Chain A
């Protein structure tokens, strides 16, 4: 039973605490939702006018900014919902089929 539990915990990537309490804050960072993606949004910075529409609507906070203010997509967490593509007023974002 204990062995089985260890195996399960290893697979789940975390301790199976009573009541599923997660003891470390910010553990969601370890969950790479980018693996879910079917379509990959691609941002063309030469067209981007930095209006920040995509940044506001992204449900996963996966649109980020460099210190210089340039927007980019964090593919570790981007699930490929394409809301950014839909909301982009200057069509600076296109979609590509994710190939792994």
Chain B
């Protein structure tokens, strides 16, 4: 059913259609509309689920760990400082191999206090064993929330998934969305049936200590599962596309006019929409511009990016986060894996809600056309 909805509501619809059973949540701007809408679903009886009012985000994610360990499909949402408060529990959720799905309404970290969008919250947690997907539209936010459970609960994966959407510039934007039928979502996403779960009749121990003789083996298992999940993310994306008619690239990356492109931008989230318009403008002028939208930051889709950048002369990398004292993390990752003949420049953009305008992206394209492009902060 088509309707006009705010993207936060689209995420809540996704969680409802996924038949989530437990919602431990603590509201924080700009993720609050997600929690409010879910609370309304539970309050009105439209969704039969347990909503746990907790006293902090640390407790929200801790309760999510317990709920999934007990065998329930579980969802939570947060932003920024709330996300930072959850940090201690992030590696616990992934280390215990619990398929929690969490929406992160990406927002800058303090100080100075700032409630607006950048990717510094989630990107700084990229090493904590969560699959990180970044979405661009309300529709993609809804669809990815459903996909996220299927990816997370896959027997080859069993890892938590973050669905990242830009705070305000996506969470608070109204768009036309197509709400899938419950029946179809049920067919796509069967109930969560874990092999091991907390059960008083069949006691097991979750979250024990691992000594130096086995800790590394458990981490290796996680790493292997992360790498394997690249295939699962692609598979789930194509299954979703077949059923609902909406593909998001190959699930890991999406490309725009890349077939013959010589100069391209790579970015995550809502900036990609602006970049498409800039690419179109440059194409009209006869320039071979293109866009790579990175949908999955972790696991890192190295092979797909190598394929997508084949034949490219230069790549401008947009990071909405900076590893202070070094450079943009996406830029660093890409330099590590892409062909050394490819000219690359990293641009720090849109921190703390600073608008990333067409002018900025034109500047990126004109810079990477130079013989020796130099990265900069798009102020």
Contacts and interface: CB of A to CB of B under 8 A. Distances in A.
Given A11-B213, A12-B213, A16-B221, A22 B98 contact: no
Q: B interface, how many residues as a size bin? A: 20 to 34
Interface string A46-88: 0000000000000000000000000000000000000000000
Contact of A25 (B97, B205, B214): B205
A41 B352 CA distance: 61
B270 to A, nearest CB: 34
Nearest to A26: B203
Nearest to B198: A21
Interface in B168-222: 196, 203-208, 210-211, 213-214, 217-218, 221
Contacts of A5: 217
Contacts of A24: 204
Contact of B96 (A11, A16, A19): A19
Contacts of A21: 96, 196, 204-206
Contact of B221 (A11, A18, A23): A18
B95 interface: yes
Interface string B217-246: 110010001000000000000000000000
A16 B218 contact: yes
Among A11, A16, A19: residue with most chain B CB under 10 A: A19
A2 interface: no
Given A11-B213, A12-B213, A18 B204 contact: no
B289 interface: no
B361 interface: no
Contacts of A18: 97, 158, 221, 225
Among A11, A16, A20: residue with most chain B CB under 10 A: A20
Contact of B205 (A11, A12, A16, A27): A27
B216 to A, nearest CB: 9
Contacts of B97: 18-19
A30 interface: no
Interface of A: 5, 8, 11-12, 16-25, 27
